[in-house]
Chains A and B, each alone.
Chain A
Amino acid sequence: MNDLRKIERDVTMNSTKITARDVNVHYGDTHAIKDVKVDIADRTVTAFIGPSGCGKSTFLRCLNRMNDTIDICRVEGTIELDGQDIYRKSIDPVQLRAQIGMVFQKPNPFPKSIYDNIAYGPRIHGLAKSKGELDEIVERALRRGAIWEEVKDRLNDPGTGLSGGQQQRLCIARAVATEPEVLLMDEPCSALDPIATAQVEELIEELRREYSVVIVTHSMQQAARVSQKTAFFHLGHLVEFNDTEQIFTNPTDSRTEAYITGRIG
């Protein structure tokens, strides 16, 4: 008999969304990422885990060229989105970041109204032709962010007035407003309480239907709960990349085993 829950986990393994090959990152003299090779699937949640300083956030930031903003940072190797090199000259990083959205550790709404927080991206990218169209985009994004019901009557209130969990869902809604293809999340729940965390995790499961989601998390339980694929980073190396279930029940590499069972820091 087939296990339904297992099938639910296995729906994925769609086409590859992001391909990274021989990626090396240096911060000045520090070699932060060493020869990383990974394929990130579409409509799948991929978790990056590893101890602090292992390079998981650095690598995540390579995926939408956030490291461009750091002067001493040098990225080598190839990273392709749907077969297109994202580091080639003709790519506009701002446009790229609309395609590959990002949510950060601390909720960082703009000091504007809830409505304007969401409308900001679509406005600068010219996604709406009229006020009516923009209203629709805002509503759709807030619904996808699972926060519409809570804010629909106060869209003109400041986004900073929401609770931490609501702010984070607002930021996720803001990230999806520009119709991205990939969502990067850098410890999106570390500043949230367990209830808000559960709501964001539920939202991640929803988002997976439409996007490729990559999440960096320090909570191994969270990685186990939300992801289908897990990558373990250690000292700048991608040590092991496999099905989440495999990583947490029977990892191949002894370093992965030592980390997930709490034997190395």
Chain B
Amino acid sequence: MIEKHIVTSFDHDLESIQASMMKLGGQVEEALANAAKALQTRDEELAQQVREGDRLIDDLDQSIKTDAARLLALRSPTAVDLRTVLSVMEISSNLERCGDYAKNIAKRSLAMAPAREINGSLSALRRMSRFVEAMIRDSLDAYIQRDVVKAQEIIERDVEADQIYNTLFRSLLTHMMEDHRNIAVGMHLHFIAKNIERVGDHATGIAEQTIYLVTGKLPEEDRPKQDRTSLELQESDV
């Protein structure tokens, strides 16, 4: 950070919302890790714990928004201070959505606990989940370090997350076409994969906020898009 404010409590308020945001990031990472673990190990208790834990994530997101609103009202921040508050609000929303995805994954893992696995898909999902968890963690690190280069690198990493999702999508589709008994579980697994892929998009959103915070501009919209499954579906339809 640049120099301190003349009014030190202003610095304290700004640091405090960022600290809450990092805490929220930690909770979300843990929820994602636990959801993926519960899915692979078929640990219903852990899945239940993730579902219930989402309330804490929502509460923390709300409290960050409240603090940010208070800061806007009482301190009228400008320039980098304004961008800090706005980016924290945005990132908090990103993280809250990721928490919802973790909850959804946990919910689906409970629903499909009794079903058989489609070969290898659970460990593939867990690998994918680890990949996007790292994206979330690194995007928050880039934010705190005000590291634009690192943020840009995370945006590019999302291509890989999309590719992993594409591969999974194709493999699930093949299994469902081969044996219709796979359809129910295949659908659940596909939604889980999609949820994990969305977490990668939110990590990208966080990285973009870092660029906004530092430069005052959001990066150009041409973010690399590798999720081509919507096109593939049309192809396999014919």
Contacts and interface: CB of A to CB of B under 8 A. Distances in A.
Interface of A: 220-221, 224, 248-251, 254, 257-258, 260-265
Nearest 5 pairs between A and B by C-beta?
A250-B216, A263-B3, A248-B78, A260-B78, A261-B81
Contact of A261 (B5, B216, B217): B5
B7 A249 contact: no
A239 to B, nearest CB: 14
A43 to B, nearest CB: 26
A263 B4 contact: yes
Contacts of A258: 2-3
Contact of B78 (A249, A254, A264, A265): A249
B76 interface: yes
9 contacts: A224-B78, A248-B78, A250-B79, A250-B216, A251-B79, A254-B2, A261-B79, A261-B81, A263-B3
Interface residues of B, number: 17
B82 interface: yes
Contact of A248 (B10, B79, B217): B79
Interface string B3-14: 111110010000
Contact of A263 (B5, B76, B82): B5
Contact of B80 (A220, A221, A261, A265): A261
Interface of B: 2-7, 10, 76-83, 216-217
B6 A262 contact: yes
Contacts of A257: 2, 79-80
Nearest to B86: A249
B83 to A, nearest CB: 7
A262 B10 contact: yes
B49 to A, nearest CB: 43
A254 B7 CA distance: 19
Contacts of B6: 262-265
Contacts of B217: 250
A258 B1 CA distance: 12
A249 B216 contact: yes
Contacts of A264: 3, 6
B5 A249 contact: no
A251 B5 CA distance: 17
A250 B216 CA distance: 6
